């Protein structure tokens, strides 16, 4: 699904993708770091780490921001194309 979404976003002239993910130094019964590893395997890089800024399940967790560049950053970028203006969604 992520790869299909990425192809659609490329056709819309999106250049950067971002993910914000709950993160823990010590995995527990409510949070593992599987999402971080998943995004790394897809080519995302960690660009920020915020300490104890997410509260859930009665605990404070860190949040990491990850980024993936999927297009070229030219001097004159192409305009964003709304999904309603794309030709058939062929994947």
DSSP symbols for 37-79 = HHHHHTT-EEEEEEEEEEEETTEEEEEEEEEEE-S---SSPPP
Interval 23-70: pLDDT, tens: 999 999 999 999 999 999 999 999 999 999 999 889 999 999 999 999
Distances (CA, A) of 4 to 9, 54, 90: 9, 29, 10
Give residue limits of the domains in the chain: 2-72
For residue 90, is pLDDT > 60?
no
Assess if CATH 3.40.50.261 describes domain 2-72: no
Interval 4-24: pLDDT, tens: 999 999 999 999 999 999 999
Burial class (CB in 10 A: 0-12, 13-18, 19+), 23: buried
């Amino acid at each position: 699904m992520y790869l299909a979404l990425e192809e659609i976003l490329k056709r819309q002239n999106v250049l950067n993708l971002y993910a914000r993910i709950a993160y823990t130094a010590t995995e527990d019964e409510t949070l593992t770091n599987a999402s971080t590893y998943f995004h790394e395997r897809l080519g995302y890089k960690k660009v920020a780490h915020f300490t104890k800024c997410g509260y859930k399940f009665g605990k404070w967790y860190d949040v990491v921001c990850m980024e993936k560049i999927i297009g070229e950053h030219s001097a004159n970028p192409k305009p964003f194309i709304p999904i309603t203006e794309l030709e058939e969604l062929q994947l």
